[in-house]
Chain A
Amino acid sequence: MLNEDRIELMTKMAAYENRQGKKDISVNSYFRGDYISFQVLKSALYATVGFALAVAMYILYDLEGFLTDFYKMDIAEFVKDIGVKYGIVLVVYLLLSYFIYAYRFGRAKKHIKKYVSQLKELEELYEWE
């Protein structure tokens, strides 16, 4: 026999699984620390690409000057200067990423908790039958 209550609950759960649930379930497959560190690492990669492009633009900005002064300039000082700026950008970007992904993990956990309670409810409906 078809049980309408069960179908209603299963439909709600399947709708969740199809949309937000997909993301939440993949987030939930990690431990909190693993998830956040993985995302922060990914952010570091993005920040590095962005910073490399910004440095390329900085060099292009005064390419003529850069090429004429290249043999005279203190390369170590130049690299150190770029390194310090890269460090600052990375720290700010990673801190922001940490807070955002910690928040997203908490939100996904909350959704999954509700989903699990629906699973329990479904189980009870089966037992009741």
Chain B
Amino acid sequence: MSNLLVIKEQLAGFFSRYEVYVIAVLKFVLTLVALLLINSNLGYMSKIDNGAIVLVVALLCAFLPMNLIVIILGMFILLHLYALSLACAAIVGMLFVIMFVLYLRFSPSDSATLIIMPICYMLRLPYVVPLTLGFVGSPMSCVSVACGTVTYFMLDYIKNNEEQIASYSLDSESALGSFKYLIDGLLGSDQMLLMVITFAVVVITVFMIKSLPIDHSWKIALALGVIVNILIILIGCSALEVDLSIGGVFLGTIVSSVIVFIIQFFIFNVDYSRTENVQFEDDEYYYYVKAIPKISIEAPDVNVKRFNSYEDGEYEEYEYDE
């Protein structure tokens, strides 16, 4: 345990010193993974399904704000869909704008969620995101979780029905009818509705419980979040007649809670204060200050008790701390 605490402190120290680079690398990796997943699942436009383009865009995104990265990824998706079917690209484009309007007003700082949520779905661990956002976000984070969920289900539907969607765009007579089919397919999933509701309740529950002034509030919040997640999905599955593997939900939630527990350990009570580069002046001087936070890594306390026996039967006790 003490080794873990040292690692945690070292991580905090590393982050505070190299924050600029760490964030750029994280953005690069996130964009690269997202672009590769988009290209492998929806690679309809061969021009942008290209390793060099993906690498250049990911490198560029390393230095852009998250909201802009979300827009660039959205454009990538729309270009692929345009190559598949114009009607499909138009409908998904409209839905993206509606979601963007919703999320931008309420939780603009959670843009990474929109990208991480579909990736977690592909890893079959979507429960990690609402549980984590309950701790690090606000109740409004449920908007970005919902947008991420809707995006994943839309793209999953398109991937599974690509032939049908492509045939609609070729046949001009059925072009008008294709909108009905597309909107029904994109938004008509009961499973999507169930997940949006479940995750919203989980985010709000975890946020409220962890904010309570009680001991171990975050552990209770995590446990309750897990229970609420499983319960709502179980009830929802029977009410909406959604065909979902119950074993998968149990296993996914438990594994997710372990991951959140680990994430929690590294973010809870750690001062990730940053290195500050500031400039200011007074009447006498110009100041160019680089303030690096002090990180003290304490060596773990080792308490050694040693008992030596003597021939005369007396015992002497040594006790010292290292």
CB distance from B86 to the nearest CB of A (A): 12
Given known pairs A7-B289, A57-B183, the reply for A14 and B176 (CB within 8 Å) is no
B101 interface hit (Cβ, 8 Å): yes
B94 interface hit (Cβ, 8 Å): yes
B94–A14 CB distance below 8 A = no
Binding stretch for chain A, among B31-39, B40-48, B272-280, B295-303: B272-280
B102–A7 CB distance below 8 A = no
Q: How far is the CA of A60 from the CA of B92 in the complex (A)?
A: 13
0/1 per residue, A1-17, Cβ < 8 Å to B?
A: 01000110011011100
Beta-carbon contacts under 8 Å, B81-137 to A: 91, 94-95, 97-98, 101-102, 104-106
A87 interface hit (Cβ, 8 Å): no
B285–A10 CB distance below 8 A = no
Main secondary structure on chain A at its contact with chain B? helix
Q: How far is the CA of A64 from the CA of B179 in the complex (A)?
A: 10
B291 interface hit (Cβ, 8 Å): yes
A38 interface hit (Cβ, 8 Å): no
B140 interface hit (Cβ, 8 Å): yes
B98–A15 CB distance below 8 A = no
What residues on A are CB-neighbors of B104 within 8 Å? 46
Q: Hey, which bits of chain B sit against chain A, CB under 8 A?
A: 91, 94-95, 97-98, 101-102, 104-106, 140, 176-177, 179-180, 183, 276, 278-280, 282, 285, 287, 289, 291
Instruction: Contacts A10-B287, A57-B95 known; list 14 others, CB within 8 Å.
Output: A6-B282, A11-B287, A11-B289, A46-B101, A47-B101, A50-B98, A56-B94, A57-B94, A60-B179, A61-B180, A62-B180, A63-B179, A96-B106, A97-B105
